[in-house]
């Protein structure tokens, strides 16, 4: 069928189907609204997302632009609902008229298959609000047995939804400053996100940084002695880094203080972040003085931290980052046959539980591998002089890695940005939602800071079995603590253990440094404080903040009783009374 063209009502040539459609469109019209300009009228029609231009008529009244329901195809039977705009010839106003018919496009058998239908759109919107990825949405639509859009259609529609929710991708420095100023007021509700502080410099080049958090998240700052900090990328389309700061509890779980969006990853950016935390605590008359900073080898993080808090705090080098960097150099400088042994020794060196042992073992490690000149030179300069605190004993009662924060960064990318780089104008809104979600997790009791480590069932079982071994050791006391030294592993006693000064080779370190453990418990120990103040220098406790030795000693001293589930020893057959039966003679066959 040829597409009809209408120039006026008098000279138009209609086919039978088009005449029928026109007759349906011209039944009874109702005046709906009046517009002052063409742009206003066009925007109104566009926002309704229901109408498409059908044909136009010119007469004495003016120009009539007819619209049809866009849920049906252009050719064929049309939906009963229709409208037209009258551009009056006597004035500049535009009037809208609609007929009184309801939409019945679903009954026409002429539905438009172009684009995504309304039912599918509603499901996609729901998945979009739940932060679902396009692949998941397609699978979900398939399970609902709904006609699937193409992947390009889906992504385009998600882009439209993102624009409707977060605004245009483009933003100027003036618009950003207005947003920061409007959201800088401290809200009364604890879980409403706000801009804690911000800085903008647009004199020479654009340079900005702003800190987003909530009152509830900031309440965790004052009592925190451990600070984790890092920068993560691939979140914003413009490539700006996002600075993450928080703390870990005794269960090694990460807790956010907030995030900083900034143009750079320099000393002044991290100093701004740490100073914001210190100034917030200072409002309540307190002074924030953390004991440990856990980060990677970035000098900017350390310089910014020391600029705000001084040099008395200890900077811990993340062991995971250290090993990753060393791996590249070992594979580059050393023969591949030596790589496994070097890493075995390096892992043993990292388990050093005190500075004295680490320094002694480091010298023995260098002596052992001194023939690997290039590697040893790199190792001494980078990991013994510049960055030394990567061994377990450097951070007592604190994680030796930044893995908790890194895991948090992964959640941000997987669940919030869906592994897409979001434009800054949209990311600032997304960041506010993300911060509020973190804060509400504490309000709903879904997350809490643990002041004491939670003893797992695995530890209870190991401790119960360790107690049954009934190993002997030594005991010493001072004014506050009692120290119990016990043999490790299969060692039955503390004899034949060389002192640190007697170690001559790195093998002596490996054989003797882990041959015994020292368990520290407070005097007048009770159930409430043995787990809080008790420590052990074994690698398990250094990493997990709980171990079978500490829990086992508390069981032996009757400070605590193990749960019934920990007594997992299988009950076997009872031994028969009397002398055991003699072994019978073997059968001999000819």
pLDDT digits (tens, 9 = 90+) for 210-250: 999 999 999 999 999 999 999 999 999 999 999 999 999 98
Nearest residue to 154 (alpha-carbon basis) of 111, 195, 125, 113: 125
Check: CB of residue 427 under 8 Å from CB of residue 236: yes
| Statement to judge: residues 136 and 35 lie in one domain | no
| Statement to judge: residues 137 and 68 lie in one domain | no
State how far the Cα of 550 lies from the Cα of 553, in Å rounded to an integer. Answer: 5
| Statement to judge: residues 302 and 179 lie in one domain | yes
Neighbour-count burial of 337, counting CB atoms closer than 10 A to its CB (0-12 exposed, 13-18 middle, 19+ buried): exposed
What is the structure's pLDDT at 3? 34
Beta pairing class for 94-99 and 194-201: unpaired
| Banded pLDDT at 37 (limits 50, 70, 90) | confident
Domain assignment present for 68: yes
**What is the residue-averaged pLDDT of the chain?**
87
Q: What is the CATH number of the domain that holds 196?
A: 3.30.420.10
Integer CA distances (angstroms), 583 to 146, 577, 586, 588, in order: 75, 17, 9, 15
| Statement to judge: residues 381 and 367 lie in one domain | yes
| Statement to judge: residues 55 and 155 lie in one domain | no
Between 486 and 28, the higher pLDDT residue: 486
Domain assignment present for 220: yes
Domain assignment present for 244: yes
What is the structure's pLDDT at 576? 66
State how far the Cα of 555 lies from the Cα of 549, in Å rounded to an integer. Answer: 10
State how far the Cα of 279 lies from the Cα of 218, in Å rounded to an integer. Answer: 11
| Statement to judge: residues 294 and 439 lie in one domain | yes
Which two tokens mark 351? 């388990």
Domain assignment present for 67: yes
Phi then psi for residue 252, to 5 deg, are: 65, 25
Domain assignment present for 7: no
| Banded pLDDT at 193 (limits 50, 70, 90) | very high
Residues 6+ apart with CB under 8 A from 463: 548, 549, 551, 552, 555, 562, 566
State how far the Cα of 519 lies from the Cα of 521, in Å rounded to an integer. Answer: 7
| Statement to judge: residues 286 and 405 lie in one domain | yes
State how far the Cα of 401 lies from the Cα of 385, in Å rounded to an integer. Answer: 19
Domain ends where: 357, 377, 394?
A: 394
For the stretch 77-135, pLDDT in tens is 888 889 999 998 888 889 999 888 888 887 777 777 667 888 888 999 999 888 888 88
| Statement to judge: residues 281 and 415 lie in one domain | yes
| Banded pLDDT at 527 (limits 50, 70, 90) | low
| Dihedral sign from CA coordinates of 564, 568, 570, 575 | negative
| Statement to judge: residues 283 and 413 lie in one domain | yes
Domain assignment present for 6: no
Provide the percentage of residues in the chain whose pLDDT is more than 70. Answer: 91
Domain assignment present for 280: yes
Residues 6+ apart with CB under 8 A from 342: 330, 334, 369, 372, 375
| Statement to judge: residues 517 and 547 lie in one domain | yes
3-state secondary structure of 54: strand
Integer CA distances (angstroms), 298 to 68, 118, 122, 208, in order: 62, 51, 46, 21
| Banded pLDDT at 11 (limits 50, 70, 90) | very low
Report the run of H or E that residue 65 belongs to, with start and end: strand 62-69
> Is 0.85 surpassed by the pTM of this model?
no
3-state secondary structure of 215: helix
Check: CB of residue 481 under 8 Å from CB of residue 520: yes
Domain limits for position 159: 118-166
State how far the Cα of 431 lies from the Cα of 422, in Å rounded to an integer. Answer: 10
| Banded pLDDT at 581 (limits 50, 70, 90) | low
State how far the Cα of 495 lies from the Cα of 485, in Å rounded to an integer. Answer: 12
Domain assignment present for 576: no
| Banded pLDDT at 406 (limits 50, 70, 90) | very high
| Statement to judge: residues 489 and 436 lie in one domain | no
| Statement to judge: residues 203 and 334 lie in one domain | no
Across 479-552, the runs of DSSP E, i.e. the strands, are 481-487, 516-522, 535-536
How many domains does the chain contain in total?
5
């Amino acid at each position: 069928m040829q597409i009809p063209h209408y120039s006026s009502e008098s000279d138009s040539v209609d086919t039978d189907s088009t005449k029928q459609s026109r007759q349906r469109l011209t039944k009874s019209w109702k005046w709906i609204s009046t517009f002052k300009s063409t742009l206003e009228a066009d925007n109104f029609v566009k926002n309704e997302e229901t109408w498409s231009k059908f044909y136009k008529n010119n007469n004495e009244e003016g120009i009539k632009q007819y619209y049809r329901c866009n849920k049906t195809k252009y050719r064929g039977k049309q939906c009963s609902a229709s409208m037209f705009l009258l551009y009056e010839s006597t004035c500049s106003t535009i009037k809208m008229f609609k007929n009184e018919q309801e939409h019945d496009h679903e009954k026409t058998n002429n539905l438009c298959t172009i684009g995504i239908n309304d039912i599918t759109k509603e499901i996609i919107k729901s998945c979009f609000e739940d932060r679902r990825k396009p692949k998941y949405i397609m699978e979900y639509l398939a399970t609902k047995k709904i006609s699937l859009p193409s992947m390009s259609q889906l992504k385009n529609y998600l882009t439209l939804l993102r624009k409707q929710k977060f605004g245009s991708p483009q933003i100027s420095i003036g618009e950003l400053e207005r947003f920061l100023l409007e959201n800088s007021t401290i809200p009364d509700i604890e879980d409403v996100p706000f801009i804690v502080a911000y800085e903008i410099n647009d004199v020479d080049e654009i340079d900005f940084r702003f800190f987003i958090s909530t009152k509830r998240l900031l309440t965790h700052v004052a009592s925190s002695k451990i600070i984790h900090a890092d920068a993560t990328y691939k979140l914003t389309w413009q490539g700006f880094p996002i600075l993450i700061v928080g703390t870990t509890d005794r269960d090694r779980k990460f807790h956010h203080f907030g995030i900083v969006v900034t143009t750079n990853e320099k000393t002044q950016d991290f100093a701004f972040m740490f100073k914001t935390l210190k100034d917030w605590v200072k409002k309540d008359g307190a002074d924030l003085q953390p004991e440990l900073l856990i980060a990677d080898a970035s000098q900017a993080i350390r310089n910014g931290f020391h600029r705000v808090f001084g040099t008395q705090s200890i900077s811990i080098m993340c062991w995971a980052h250290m090993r990753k960097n060393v791996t590249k150099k070992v594979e580059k400088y050393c023969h591949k046959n030596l790589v496994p042994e070097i890493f075995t020794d390096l892992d043993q060196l990292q388990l050093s539980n005190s500075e004295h042992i680490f320094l002694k073992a480091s010298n023995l490690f260098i002596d052992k591998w001194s023939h690997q000149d290039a590697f040893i030179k790199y190792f001494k300069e980078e990991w013994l002089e510049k960055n030394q605190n990567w061994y377990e004993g450097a951070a007592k009662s604190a994680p030796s890695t930044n893995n908790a924060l890194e895991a948090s960064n992964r959640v941000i990318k997987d669940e919030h940005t869906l592994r897409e780089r979001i434009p800054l104008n949209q990311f600032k809104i997304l960041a506010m939602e993300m911060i509020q979600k973190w804060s509400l997790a504490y309000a709903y009791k879904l997350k809490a800071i643990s002041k004491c480590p939670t003893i797992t069932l695995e530890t209870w079982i190991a401790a119960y079995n360790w107690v049954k071994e009934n190993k002997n050791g030594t005991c010493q006391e001072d004014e506050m603590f009692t120290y119990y030294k016990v043999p490790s592993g299969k060692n039955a006693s503390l004899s034949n253990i060389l002192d640190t000064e007697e170690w001559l080779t790195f093998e002596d370190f490996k054989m003797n440094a882990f041959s015994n453990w020292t368990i520290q418990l407070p005097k007048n120990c009770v159930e409430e404080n043995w787990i809080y103040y008790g420590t052990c220098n074994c690698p398990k406790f250094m990493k997990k903040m709980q171990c079978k030795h500490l829990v086992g000693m508390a069981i032996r001293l009757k400070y605590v009783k193990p749960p019934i589930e920990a007594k997992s020893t299988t009950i076997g057959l009872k031994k028969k009374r009397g002398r055991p039966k003699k072994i019978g003679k073997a059968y001999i066959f000819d």
